[in-house]
Amino acid sequence: MVPVSFHDFFSGCATIAGALIGLLFVALSVSPEYQVRAGAAFSALVNTMVIALFALLPTTDFGTVAIILAATGLGTTAALVFVLVREDKRIGRGDLYMFLILLVLYGLQGANAVQLEHTPHRVGLIANQGVLAVLFFLFGIARSWQLVGAREFGLVSTLASLIHRAADNGPQTAGGDQPRNAGRATDPEDPGAGHASA
């Protein structure tokens, strides 16, 4: 049984998850060719919505529910990897990272759920499930963002872009005085140039 103090949090999680699942269907209508990849985001969001709904039931064995959902999530992720390999014959680096992150999240959820099964009244373990729900949200949102073809903004990519831009705006030739002297020799207002033509 989840303490009453968590009810507002899980109620909000259930509402947000339902809204994000609806938005994911919209994203799929824009990019229908990414249905398998969207399955990862769908799995994460459904996991969060279901666990939040069960947390609101007064007599729920929260640990058992979390174990079942973690096992289902691990199985679903393995199936998605199999389908993606069968369709595309390979998995890109981005897809590999995505599936690894999802497997880690489900693994953490399962490990926490086993502890919660043995000590169902430990508030810290229930709070951990709440933190994992937030992480599942972030995963689902990030994956949906990629599906609609939006540009990714990350620390590494941003720094790389800034460094590349700085390199493009820097001096193009070695020997800092040479370009300056060359420009001065062709300057029509240079007094030396006038004497030479005379």
- Walk along the chain (198 residues) and give the pLDDT tens digit of each residue: 788 889 999 999 999 999 888 888 877 776 667 777 788 889 999 999 999 999 999 888 999 999 999 999 999 999 988 888 887 767 778 788 888 999 999 999 999 999 999 998 889 999 999 999 999 999 988 887 777 664 444 444 544 555 566 666 655 544 545 554 444 545 555 555 444 444
The model's pTM is 0.70
Structure tokens at 12: 């909000």
Closest by CA to 94, choosing from 138, 29, 147, is: 147
Closest CA to 77 of 112, 30, 128, 42: 42
